[in-house]
Chains A and B, each alone.
Chain A
Amino acid sequence: MFVQRRTKGGIFAAAVVAAAALVASALPAHAETGVTSSTIKLGVTIPLTGAAAPGYNKIPAAMNAYFSYVNANGGVNGRQIKLVVKDDAYSPAQTLSVTNDLILKDKVFALVGTLGTANNEATTRLVNSQGVPRLFVNTGFSGFADMKKYPTTFPLFPSYATEAKVMGKYLADNFAGHKVALIYQDDDFGMDALKGFGTAGTNFVAKIPYAALSQADPSVVGKWITSIVAAGADTVVMFGVTSATGALAGGLYKANLIGKVQLILGSVGSDGTTLKGLLGPLAPALAGSIAASFLPSPADATDEYITQFKAINAQYNAGATFDNNVLVGMNTAMLTVQALRAAGTSPTRASLIKAIETKGSTWASAAFSPILYSPTSHVGYTGYWFGKLGLDGNAVSVDGPGKYTLYTTDSGSAPVVKACNSSSNASEGIA
């Protein structure tokens, strides 16, 4: 049984400041890599340049903004958090190279929010051999929850398999009788989704794989459109990155199919701000598309986390446009701070991992679903809600502003559970 649980952000923020004040004056010398008496050094790899950079390149600044907010309030047990940011341009080889630097030269205590399935795969041997905690990876590949293969890695996002199962349920509830096509990235990302759709029993009139980055090739997009038309699809599920969503929108526009095909977008490919940047004047054509999300809408003025993060963003992030990527960055940083605090006044890599495993499920988080960390589980979030993209690119819940119907499940065969709305724990189990 999955239920919703959220911790009040305001309470948490006050606790951060109070805890810091208590210990700031009596810190012991410390021998753990990346930790001194006054600092904790963390590292993140992420595409700051290259075709995959748009949108994701905002995340490190958002993380740093949150860390600056915490540092200004005394830090973590008196230590200031320093985040070393490395650009990997989404290339696994570059991820490995810069991670070598982070671990062997910069001597970071832990990695946080490293982005990309293949990119995290590329560094696994290094991370495992060094015993470096890899917190809240920025990918939904369900394999990273395998504690034997990735003992120091903590996924945060709901898995892509979970997302597909949830989406399958949503399709069954709302698009019965429709002809649905699936476009998916042909790697572990997409394979995870296929697994979830298979468990959900979702039938597609066409399954259209594409190799990562091939969406930049117009002929590839042309084949998508041809397949959609040939299958007679009236609904298209896109399980790809944001640039693939943009390419699909462009292809549909050229084929005069905008408005004739309902788009349903996976969570990693639906950030409105990024799509606006990619599509320019064509962006409003995506209005009405349905998107899955696990964090609240960045435009939700009623959400306490959004309100607090926006205030931090205004003060410490030069007022960057507040969108899903900024939200992800701040939420990741907020969880990191709680993990560091829980690791104790003399944190070690082992104590950090133990803290997450034993206490992580209780921490404040902007998402609606609980975190399932435990000594036997590295599974993070488990649920999504659905929204419709507005003309401004932001998703608004299909149930109305501030109202979220959450669907939760696991990456395996557990049923999808549909919670009635965000303010209630009432739920209905659906096999």
Chain B
Amino acid sequence: MKISSTYKKVAVLAASALAALAFTSAPTAAHAAPACDGKVPVTSCIGATSDGAPYSMMVPANFNGTVYLYSHGYRYNVDIPSAIPLIGGYKITNTPQPGPNATIIGYLLSKGYAVMGSGFARQGWNGDSGVATDVELINTFKTQFTKTTHVIAWGESLGGFITQGLAEKLGTQLSAAAPLCMASSTVEAELKMAGDFLWGVKTFFDPSIKAGNYSAGAAGYAEAMTDLGKVFTVMGKLQAGIGKELVTGAPSWPDTTPAAVKSMLGTIPSRSALLLIGLMAGLPAQSAHFDGTTGPGSPNSSSYTGFALLGSPALAILENGTNAAALAILATLDVEQQAGGATFDNTKTDYAAQVASEASTYSAALSGSTATNGMLAYLAAAPRATANPAAVTKMRSLLQWTGKISVPEVTMVGVSDPITPAGDSTYLANQYAAQYAAQIKANIKNHLPRGSSNLISIYGLTPTHYTTFDATGSPVTSTPAANGTNHCNFTTAQYKTVADLLAYASTNGKHLSGGPLLTAVRKMGGSTVDLKFQAALPKYYSQD
């Protein structure tokens, strides 16, 4: 079976989700107070915080006193040479971003809400400075617009991490918050998935990939850019190889595969090896275009079942893993520079344990238990990455969130988000559950009402079938990513619903609940707000 097209469009889509959208021009110098244009019906203000973060504020003439503070996601903190495939040509930017997109900003402004957001002073992993910038921005806004009564914080990806950190720092100074598709509680947790996957790619498919422990300064930058090129190249080779394997049944590994791997594992399809490292890292086995359920032709044909069961999971890992590997390289370079040395360490990682439950579920795609055990045995004996203890200590001193919730919060994430797994939001819910239980106990003891939960967890679900095929039976990868997949892949209706839930909570001091909540979530589509829903925790938290 031929695998059509290129993954370029897919990877670019995800990369763009990581990068910023430009809305307004950045100011050229820092200001103590914002410069406002005084226009109606919307006044736009720009300025810079004391650390140099440019910001943007937009205030409607009918401002109702509530402002939404948006924190944008991870932006690379290095330029990417244009020669690099897929993401080449990226330039560092700190353009301010006051909302998820222009449509949502317009929606909020039309309802009398103000919006604001910065571009942060520093790109890359910037949790500490990001929270500081947001705190200053809130104060600046309140000073400028004294009618302000409520501040709602929201953000996506790393911006979700910053939002949670901000909510834990400010407590009831905020009136509501929404960490969307939030990053893990620590940078160490966030980078484990990507690091495990990149190490697997290096070990199985191209040992010349450095995969971290980059040199200081320009040399390290060059090493990382070289790694990017190598990873994208080997992913392309895997894509071609998997296509051949699905046609012929014969294994087809990249030519950069170590001889020892070919010798020990060469009879196993490369798709199984790729799937294994994706699963052990915790990557979703459903991606933007591969559902694991659909094949070409008649549903009763063996080719349909064969593609769905054997090919689709590996292709999903390929699609998801390309983004994870890019993040692993660029974020690792960033964090290593901040920490002063190598931070990824898998010397004690038990990959067999990490993949235990998934190995059963995907046994057929992994080519059976014997093949799986062989691959895991190779990984167990392969050289591991060792971190610099001092760098790890410094990395662990960076901002982390604990799950403390003081005001109504909404989380939303797709169940197959490949960058910030849905399990991060589940981890937050689990952390809050203990706090909420204690609150109920205390209230009962004090003869007070039990009190309602301050957390609504929304999960975007994938459709049962969404892989499509062209007339030749090749999968189509040019269609929009399916609901529940890709990174921070939300519809306008979903954003609006979250914004509305936040507005309700901000006004009423508690969440919408019961039937009205269920109706709101049902209307936005593709999601569940079931209280008991649990996504798989990232491997950092649980070797499930």
Contacts and interface: CB of A to CB of B under 8 A. Distances in A.
B369 A53 contact: no
Interface in B446-479: 461-465
A66 interface: no
B90 interface: no
A118 B362 contact: yes
Nearest to A48: B299
Given A91-B292, A118-B363, A188-B363, A51 B302 contact: yes
B309 interface: yes
A189 to B, nearest CB: 9
A125 interface: yes
A31 to B, nearest CB: 14
B370 A209 contact: yes
Contacts of B367: 186, 211, 214
B343 interface: no
Contact of A49 (B299, B361, B363, B461): B299
B357 A121 contact: yes
A102 to B, nearest CB: 11
B44 to A, nearest CB: 42
B368 A117 contact: no
B328 interface: no
Interface in B486-544: 528, 530, 532-534, 536, 544
A53 B309 CA distance: 14
Contact of B304 (A50, A121, A211): A50
A117 B366 CA distance: 15
A382 B193 CA distance: 42
Name the prevailing secondary structure of the A interface residues.
helix
Nearest to A185: B368
B82 to A, nearest CB: 37
Interface string A83-114: 00000011111100110110010000000000
B224 interface: no
Which of A97, A190, A214 has most chain B Cβ within 10 Å? A97
Contacts of A101: 464
A211 B249 contact: no
A213 interface: yes
B64 to A, nearest CB: 35
Nearest to B534: A129
B360 A187 contact: yes
A90 B464 contact: no
Contact of B461 (A100, A118, A209): A100
Interface in B313-368: 313, 357, 360-364, 366-368
B464 A97 contact: yes
B425 interface: no
A101 to B, nearest CB: 7
Interface in A114-148: 117-118, 121-122, 124-126, 129-131
B286 interface: yes
A186 B357 contact: no
A20 to B, nearest CB: 32
Contacts of B302: 51, 216
Contacts of B463: 97
A121 B300 contact: no
B481 interface: no
Contacts of B300: 49-51, 53
A91 B363 contact: no
A123 B167 CA distance: 34
A92 B362 contact: yes
A118 B361 contact: yes
B360 A52 contact: no
Contacts of A118: 360-364
Nearest to B312: A93
Contacts of B313: 93
A209 B371 CA distance: 10
Contacts of A94: 292-293, 308, 464-465
A50 B360 contact: no
A129 B533 contact: yes
B364 A209 contact: no
B464 A104 contact: no
B285 interface: yes
A100 B300 CA distance: 23
A213 B309 contact: yes
A420 interface: no
Contacts of A50: 299-300, 304-305, 308
Interface in B268-324: 285-286, 291-293, 299-302, 304-306, 308-310, 312-313
Given A89-B308, A91-B309, A219-B249, A187 B364 contact: yes
B306 A213 contact: yes
Interface residues of B, number: 42
Contacts of B286: 93
Given A51-B305, A94-B292, A129 B364 contact: no
A93 B313 CA distance: 9
Given A93-B285, A94-B292, A122 B361 contact: yes
A93 B305 contact: no
A213 B361 contact: no
Contacts of B363: 118, 186-188, 211-212
A93 B369 contact: no
Contact of B293 (A93, A131, A214): A93
B85 to A, nearest CB: 29
B204 to A, nearest CB: 19
Kindly name the residue among A93, A117, A122, A129 whose own CB sees the greatest number of chain B CB atoms within 10 A: A93
A217 interface: yes
A350 to B, nearest CB: 14
A125 B530 contact: no
A122 to B, nearest CB: 4
B464 A213 contact: no
A258 interface: no
A209 B367 CA distance: 10
A52 B19 CA distance: 44
Contacts of A122: 361
B543 to A, nearest CB: 14
A332 B313 CA distance: 32
Contacts of A186: 363, 367-371
Contacts of B312: 93
B364 A121 contact: no
A166 B301 CA distance: 35
Contacts of B534: 125-126, 129
Contacts of B364: 118, 187, 211-213
Contacts of A90: 305, 309
Given A93-B286, A94-B308, A129-B534, A121 B360 contact: yes
B350 to A, nearest CB: 18
Interface in A10-39: none
A36 B293 CA distance: 33
Contacts of A53: 300
Nearest to B529: A104
A191 interface: yes
A184 to B, nearest CB: 10
A129 B309 contact: no
B179 to A, nearest CB: 21
B305 A211 contact: no
Interface string A204-215: 000001111110
Given A50-B305, A118-B363, A121-B357, A190 B369 contact: yes
A217 B369 contact: no
Contacts of B361: 92, 118, 121-122
Given A89-B299, A89-B304, A187-B369, 20 more contacts: A92-B361, A93-B291, A93-B312, A94-B465, A97-B464, A100-B528, A104-B528, A117-B360, A118-B361, A121-B357, A125-B544, A126-B534, A129-B532, A129-B533, A186-B368, A186-B371, A187-B360, A187-B368, A211-B364, A211-B367
Interface of A: 49-53, 89-94, 97-98, 100-101, 104, 117-118, 121-122, 124-126, 129-131, 185-188, 190-191, 209-214, 216-217, 219
Interface of B: 249, 285-286, 291-293, 299-302, 304-306, 308-310, 312-313, 357, 360-364, 366-371, 461-465, 528, 530, 532-534, 536, 544
